[in-house]
Amino acid sequence: MKFIEDCAQAHGAKYQGKNIGSLGDISCFSFYPTKNLGAIGDGGAVATNDAAIFEKLMQIREYGWKDKYISIRQGVNSRLDEVQAAILKAKLPHLNKMNQRRQEIASIYLKELSGLPITLPQLKVGCEHVYHLFVIRLKNKAVRDQLKTYLADNQVHCLIHYPVPIHEQPNYLNKVRTAGELKETSALSQEILSLPMYPELTNEEVLKVVDLIKSFKF
Ligand SMILES: Cc1ncc(COP(=O)(O)O)c(C=O)c1O
């Protein structure tokens, strides 16, 4: 059995002192522009320490080629283009600093929003979170939707990551193998809200979000 790590939201995060991306047989990163390390267009990378998997991946990324123009397996065109690679190379040295800023913003939210009828993200022992998102959970869908509208009416726009779980997507209904009914996943998708989270947010802006949430009638 192989362990595939989805690191799309976890550049720089750690688990028991090890970098996310170093734990799986295959580790997949997204460099979509909003990610902690983001390009200016689509991009991604796969990391592995397994030579056989590496060779296979190198073939799949380029039409299944073993040698130029000779496809020996089903492949795709999935090369990271050079402009995106150059942007990512320039941004990589700033990743830790940007993650630290995300952590500072998260600590303000965690401190200021405690005591409200909101479930806040919990940090598990041995985990270093890099807060790609700051997701809160409300009592039910009605409260979640009202809070989202209230914040939007006050120029604070929040998104839901994600509103429809995979097993409820029209194309995947009854096609995803699951251990059970995934009731908790379905409930979460109705009750979660992602608060503004990006390194450029100022403390004043974070506190504006906090004040608005505190003034909301739960
Ligand atoms: C957890 C997770 N996995 C995978 C992806 C897919 O990334 P991409 O669209 O760059 O392939 C995303 C994108 O948002 C994600 O959040």
Q: How far apart are CA 187 and CA 168, in angstroms?
A: 12
The tokens for 176 are 């995803």
Q: How far apart are CA 99 and CA 31, in angstroms?
A: 15
| pLDDT at position 122 | 93
Best of 5, 7, 31, 32 to mutate for ligand 1, by most ligand atoms within 8 A of CB? Answer: 32
| pLDDT at position 82 | 96
| pLDDT at position 139 | 97
| pLDDT at position 179 | 87
Q: How far apart are CA 192 and CA 55, in angstroms?
A: 40
CATH of region 94-215, choose from 3.40.1280.10, 3.90.1150.10, 3.40.50.300, 3.20.20.70? 3.90.1150.10
Q: How far apart are CA 154 and CA 145, in angstroms?
A: 14
Q: How far apart are CA 75 and CA 83, in angstroms?
A: 23
| pLDDT at position 45 | 97
The full set of domain ranges for the chain reads: 4-30+44-79, 94-215
Q: What is the mean pLDDT of each run of 10 residues along the chain (218 residues)?
A: 96 96 96 98 96 97 97 97 97 98 98 97 95 98 98 98 96 91 96 98 98 97
pTM of the model as a whole: 0.94
| pLDDT at position 25 | 96
If DSSP codes are grouped into helix, strand and coil, which group holds residue 119?
Answer: strand
Best of 28, 30, 80, 159 to mutate for ligand 1, by most ligand atoms within 8 A of CB? Answer: 30
